[in-house]
Amino acid sequence: MSARWKAAALVAPLLLFLLAVFVAPIGAFLLRAVQEQDVAPVLPRTVAALSDWDGAALPGDAAFAALAEDLREARARDQETSAGAVARAAARLNADWPGFRSLLPMTARRIVAAEGPPRDALLSISEDWGTPLPWGAIRRAGGPVSDFNLLAVLDLKRDAAGDIAAAPAGEAIFRSVLWRTLWIGGLATLICLAIGYPLAWLMATAPPRWVPWLVAGVMLPFWTSLIVRTAAWMVLLQREGVVNAALQALRITAEPLPLLFNRGAVLLAMVHILLPFMVLPIYGSLRALDWRLPRAAMSLGASPLRSFLRVSLPLSMPGVGAGCLLVFIQALGFYVTPALLGGANDQMVPYFVAFYASRTVNWGMAAALSVLLLVAVALVVALYGRLVGFGKVRTA
Amino acid sequence: MTPSRILLWCFGTLAILFLMAPVLAVLPLSFSSGSFLFYPLPGLSLRWYADFWNSEFWLPALWNSLKVGTGAALVAGSLGTLAAFGLWRAEFPGKSLVMAVLLAPMVVPAIIVAVALLLAFGPLGLTNSFTGLILAHAALGAPFVVVTVLAALQQFDAVQLRAASSCGASPLRAFLRVCLPQILPGVAAGAVFAFATSLDEVAVALFISGPAQRTLPRQMFSGLNDSISLTIMAAAMVLVLLSALLLLAVTLLRRRSP
């Protein structure tokens, strides 16, 4: 066996482990963004009957008959197994055409006793079946794959004819959530850079006996658990918390200030938590810097500012790039801190992933939002690779 | 000192104060004899620590955290060390892709891992189980082991392995007797990183573990979500002490490595 294969065999256990418990689960989860599994098993004949429908006028009698038969069968199956398949299909269809959550179960209940031709029976149960809208929703959700969720997280949806259009104003929230996520992440990164660079500079240029203290001052908070630091901010900022009690005792304010559950609290805690990730890489590259170079620049007549801008700063750019990358990527994924310290308007994409996964059990939307988040992260990583390169990162 | 140096020192001191003060300011509240979350304290007592010790969920949560963290550190430490050694030994096709997979857990947002594992582990019976949580945390901690051990291997001279094999040692024996003792501080530091990652993790624990596997951070998260009691501050104190111990361990290990 060649040395190459031996080396690969040593890497294989961890690689297989990560493929099994990390890559495959995430891949399978992300696929749910395009899979349609809820409607076709309940309405198989209807989906088939709608396949050659033009989407403009009402579908033909065959589709009405298929729907009546599908719903009778699905209701009987649900009563037997109590699987709730009709309710699941109704929830999925409701996401496309609001009204389906009640329309589908009601139709399934009443169609059992209905008589006469299916078209008249369905129209007598609800006039909604006389418009193309619910039929279009069924066809779009028929599967096996659709771009419904991916379009929904970009505030887009397909109309009855299949063309992409803007989603109605009431449903269009995700673009603003995405911008908010990028904005909060970007702002946190900039603030961390503004505080972190001077601090790293001080650490790299301080007299040797002070350096361990400064490093400890950064490392100790870095190692303190994220949940503890979030809890600390909650206790400091809450209505009957440390800061408000102190302000009132000092007679600066009469009433407690609303310091918690707002954007400022989220940013403050995020900067506090992420600052060490900015300081340590910059400190690493400043420590490795050859300090004779800026001194040489100054002895050749450059002002201290010019020597910094033309010599020290460019040489520390790998650290700055690594710090900004680490901070921004982590900021995009922040869930716990905004969930605890932010208000309704400060929640970022990860909150909505958790919301769809746990509250409404809408895996498709959770997966589509995850795709959005991962694309953002991948773009940042690729940008970093292009601008700085992965080989140059030095950590402290 | 020039004025700009003085300004830099003032700024740096304020920045360190900003990093240290919030946690240091709230921890003494855990010694309060009252139940308010502000100063001045009505008196000193250990009642919140007694509450932590006696309650039916806080102390078990601490044990669960230590158990899961140890399990994750062992799995990540052994697999990560082997992988780092392999990556260091030789070039092989697709190495950069392999490296990307190995380091991916560092950049993928935890909430995505949490929801994905909830879906994948459910049918396998790994949700609501220690095994599932340990496997998940090991995956999140493994990249830190790989990076730390790779850094330790950079200081190791590969000629020693050839010397060992020319003296008749098998590759395994050469690794165990020659290489491992020299990179051991790096391996241990990597395992400590993996342990710390597990000890700090909330999102995955929240989604895939059940009440029996409640970890300390998860217990704190639910406490903070409903009503903050000072027992949470006592738990925070325990976590801070644990983190300080881990930092001390890593610092000592760094000093021992060449």
Residue A72, min C-alpha distance to chain B (Å): 30
Query: How confident is residue A172, by pLDDT bands cut at 50, 70 and 90?
Result: confident
Residue B19, min C-alpha distance to chain A (Å): 6
**B150 pLDDT more than 90:** yes
Which DSSP symbol is given to A346?
G
For residue A14, give the nearest of B15, B79, B115 by CB distance: B79
Q: Is the ipTM of this complex over 0.85?
A: yes
Contact B82 A241 (CB under 8 A): no
The bridge status of strand A156-158 relative to strand A164-166 is antiparallel
| Pairwise CA distance, residues B132 & A25, whole Å | 13
CA of residue A324 relative to chain centroid, distance:
19
Pick among 1.10.3720.10, 3.30.565.10, 3.40.50.2300, 1.20.1090.10: CATH of B44-256: 1.10.3720.10
Q: Write out pLDDT tens, residues B101-130.
A: 999 999 999 999 999 999 999 999 999 999
Q: Which two tokens stand for residue A87?
A: 């309710």
Residue B200, min C-alpha distance to chain A (Å): 5
**B197 pLDDT more than 80:** yes
- CB of A276 closer than 8 Å to CB of A222: yes
**A126 pLDDT more than 90:** no
- CB of A42 closer than 8 Å to CB of A70: yes
pLDDT, mean of residues B27-35: 91
**B71 pLDDT more than 50:** yes
Q: Residue A58 has what pLDDT?
A: 85
Q: Residue A387 has what pLDDT?
A: 77
The sign of the torsion formed by the CA atoms of B113, B114, B119, B120 equals positive
Q: Write out pLDDT tens, residues B156-172.
A: 888 998 899 889 888 88
Number of residues in chain A: 396
Give the mean pLDDT of chain B: 92
**A171 pLDDT more than 80:** no
A205 or A60, greater pLDDT: A205
Contact A333 B12 (CB under 8 A): no
Contacts of B116 in chain A (CB under 8 A): 25-26, 28-30, 370
B226 or B217, greater pLDDT: B217
Give the mean pLDDT of chain A: 89
- What is the SS3 assignment for B89-155? HCCCCCHHHHHHHHHHHHCCCHHHHHHHHHHHHHHHCCCCCHHHHHHHHHHHHHHHHHHHHHHHHCC
pLDDT, mean of residues A210-217: 93
Q: Residue A390 has what pLDDT?
A: 67
Residue A98, min C-alpha distance to chain B (Å): 26
Residue B24, min C-alpha distance to chain A (Å): 9
B23 in A contact zone (CB under 8 Å): yes
| Pairwise CA distance, residues B236 & B23, whole Å | 9
Q: Residue A395 has what pLDDT?
A: 42
Q: Which two tokens stand for residue A267?
A: 């940013």
Contacts of B118 in chain A (CB under 8 A): 357
Buried b (16+ CB within 10 A) or exposed e, A366-385: bbbbbbbbbebbeebbeebe
Q: Write out pLDDT tens, residues A111-124.
A: 888 878 888 888 88
Q: Residue A392 has what pLDDT?
A: 47
Q: Residue A391 has what pLDDT?
A: 58
Q: Residue B171 has what pLDDT?
A: 86
Domains and CATH numbers, chain A: 1-31 (no CATH), 44-166 (no CATH), 174-387 (1.10.3720.10)
Q: Residue B228 has what pLDDT?
A: 82
**A396 pLDDT more than 60:** no
- SS3 percent helix, strand, coil of chain B, rounded to 5, is 80, 0, 20
Q: Which two tokens stand for residue B166?
A: 């020319």
Q: Residue A324 has what pLDDT?
A: 93
Q: Is A164 helix (H, G, I), strand (E, B) or coil?
A: strand
pLDDT, mean of residues B136-144: 96
Q: Which two tokens stand for residue B164?
A: 């060992």
pLDDT, mean of residues B74-96: 91
Contact B11 A199 (CB under 8 A): yes
Contact A18 B15 (CB under 8 A): no
pLDDT, mean of residues B203-224: 93
pLDDT, mean of residues A141-147: 86
**B10 pLDDT more than 90:** yes
Contact A202 B9 (CB under 8 A): yes
How buried is A170 (Cβ within 10 angstroms: 0-12 exposed, 13-18 middle, 19+ buried)?
A: exposed
Q: Write out pLDDT tens, residues A32-46.
A: 999 998 899 889 999
Q: Residue B258 has what pLDDT?
A: 54
Contact B86 A25 (CB under 8 A): no
**A348 pLDDT more than 90:** yes
Q: Residue A335 has what pLDDT?
A: 95
Q: Residue A394 has what pLDDT?
A: 41
Q: Which two tokens stand for residue A233?
A: 């901010």
Q: Residue A393 has what pLDDT?
A: 46
Chain B residue nearest residue A215, CA to CA: B16
Contact B224 A231 (CB under 8 A): yes
Contacts of B6 in chain A (CB under 8 A): none
Contacts of B228 in chain A (CB under 8 A): 231, 234-235, 238
How buried is A186 (Cβ within 10 angstroms: 0-12 exposed, 13-18 middle, 19+ buried)?
A: middle
What lies within 8 Å, CB to CB, of A230 at 6+ separation is A269, A273, A336, A337, A340, A341, B224
Q: Residue A303 has what pLDDT?
A: 87
Q: Write out pLDDT tens, residues A251-283.
A: 888 888 899 999 999 999 999 999 999 999 999
| Pairwise CA distance, residues B133 & B211, whole Å | 12
Residue B194, min C-alpha distance to chain A (Å): 12
| Pairwise CA distance, residues A150 & A33, whole Å | 7
For residue A225, give the nearest of B121, B207, B243 by CB distance: B243
Contacts of B114 in chain A (CB under 8 A): 354
Phi first, then psi, for residue A129 (nearest 5°) are -70, -10
B89 in A contact zone (CB under 8 Å): yes
B97 in A contact zone (CB under 8 Å): no
Mutation target vs A (from B1, B19, B24; most A CBs, 10 A cutoff): B19
